[in-house]
Amino acid sequence: MDWKEVYEAQEKGVLKSQAGRCMDCGVPFCHQGCPLGNLIPEWNDLVWRDKGEEAMERLHATNNFPEFTGRLCPAPCEASCVLGINQPAVTIKQVEVSIVDQAFENGWVNPLPPARLTGKTVAVVGSGPAGLAVAQQLTRVGHTVAVYERDDKIGGLLRYGIPDFKMEKEQVDRRLEQMKAEGTRFRTGVAVGTDVTWEQLRRRYDAVVVATGATVPRDLPIPGRELEGVHFAMDYLVPANRVVAGRRWRTRSTLPESTLSSSAAATPARTASAPRTGTRPPRSPPWRSASSRPLSAPATSHGRRSPPCSKLPAPTRKAANAPTSPPPWSSSARTAN
Ligand SMILES: Cc1cc2nc3c(=O)[nH]c(=O)nc-3n(C[C@H](O)[C@H](O)[C@H](O)COP(=O)(O)OP(=O)(O)OC[C@H]3O[C@@H](n4cnc5c(N)ncnc54)[C@H](O)[C@@H]3O)c2cc1C
Ligand code: SF4
């Protein structure tokens, strides 16, 4: 057994005939189904005509990372496909991922650095797909962009949430190579709000994009939730992904302090005599040793690297358990003021 992707490549003839089934509808409902507005009938037609490189360009026109969406998206486009009224929909997602996989194989995915720089600087906080997409777009129009990530690797949930069987991490790595070649800079091991303040970032850059995601597990308040052995998947997915990536098993790595402290604070520690009622908070995996970090402890174990940016003033390092402050321009901060 391995942890590799479970998907198999589509046979070229089948793929072509699937693309050829597309009717190029006058009102392509697949467009409405796709949250990105992908130009589906256009690249279906190009695949049918064996124009792989042009298909890749049309695919990238609306989608920075089709290799991610082609693997992960639940394909609402297929549910919207007109053909689906009385026969199977076009296998749009399979066509999408095949276009971009073929493009990488053939070396068609190249860096697209800007023709000139604008002189403007942007900090993007968070390196999940949202942060990466915005960083790529802003870099390509000529801004100087630095992505700040508190974890030890770039990718957000793509890296440490989604298991390899669904998407191997080489997909993230090869896209990062393209982004680096285009000029996007990456700073890992920097928790904004702790290692550097939001004010410092705001002073240093012309603009700051907050793309910090929401690694908050959603509870399921149903009967049986309180039973032994019912855990949040995120307690397992993050450390399991680390192990598959060749790292140490480390509990609670990318879960944000807010999640952990709030869930820990919201529910008193269970004692032997405490009755099991209501919804139970997330608990440690059973094999977590008693001496390991308690769930409410702050995330101090992520890789500390070189200072986040040499031009930034010395970061104000807060007490280890200080909460990450919201950006000063956020609504919660404004309310507090
Ligand atoms: C197991 C699993 C399977 C999934 N499967 C699918 C799927 O099939 N299809 C689909 O569409 N979606 C799927 N998702 C959801 C998808 O991964 C998320 O919607 C997506 O990653 C959100 O992107 P994001 O960029 O907003 O945030 P994230 O990916 O969460 O990235 C945010 C990043 O910001 C960083 N960060 C946060 N605060 C700070 C700070 N103060 N300083 C520095 N860095 C910070 C975090 O460490 C993180 O790396 C899945 C998620 C999981 C966990
Ligand atoms: S709805 Fe289906 S058949 Fe019509 S253009 Fe979109 S993919 Fe093609």
CATH number, residue 101: 1.10.1060.10
| Cβ-proximal residues to 30 (8 Å cutoff; 6+ apart), any chain | 38, 40, 41, 77, 78, 80, 81, 82, 90, 92
Q: How much is the pLDDT for 71?
A: 96
- Among 52, 71, 105, where does a domain finish? 105
Split into its structural domains, the chain has a count of 2
**Pocket flag, ligand 1, residue 40 (CB < 6 Å):** no
Question: What is the largest distance, in Å, between two alpha-carbon atoms of the chain?
Answer: 70
Contact residues for 105 (Cβ-Cβ < 8 A; gap 6+): none
Mean pLDDT by 10 residues, the chain (337 residues): 86 95 97 95 97 98 97 96 97 97 97 98 98 98 98 95 94 98 98 97 98 88 94 89 80 43 32 34 35 29 34 37 42 37
pLDDT at 8: 85
Contact between 97 and 70 (Cβ < 8 Å) = yes
Mutate to test the pocket of ligand 1, among 97, 157, 244 (most ligand atoms within 8 A of CB): 157
Spatial neighbors of 21 by CB under 8 A, at least 6 apart, are 83, 90
The answer to whether residue 43 sits within a structural domain is yes
Residue nearest to atom 48 of ligand 1 (CA): 156
User: pTM score, two decimals?
Assistant: 0.78
Residue 208 belongs to domain spanning: 121-214+302-336
Closest CA to 123 of 203, 214, 215, 213: 203
Spacing, Cα 82 to ligand 2 middle (Å): 6
According to DSSP, the residues that pair with 144 across neighbouring strands are 121
pLDDT at site 216: 81
d(CA 6, CA 214) in angstroms, rounded, equals: 27
202 and 127, same structural domain?
yes
C-alpha pair distances (Å), 11 with each of 8, 70, 98, 130, 197: 9, 16, 10, 32, 51
In a domain, 257, yes or no: no
Residue 281 counted as domain residue:
no
Q: What's the confidence (pLDDT) of residue 246?
A: 85
Token pair in block for residue 306: 């070189």
pLDDT, residue 214, reads: 84
Q: What pLDDT does residue 213 have?
A: 94
Pocket test for ligand 2, best of 43, 58, 83 (most atoms within 8 A of CB): 83
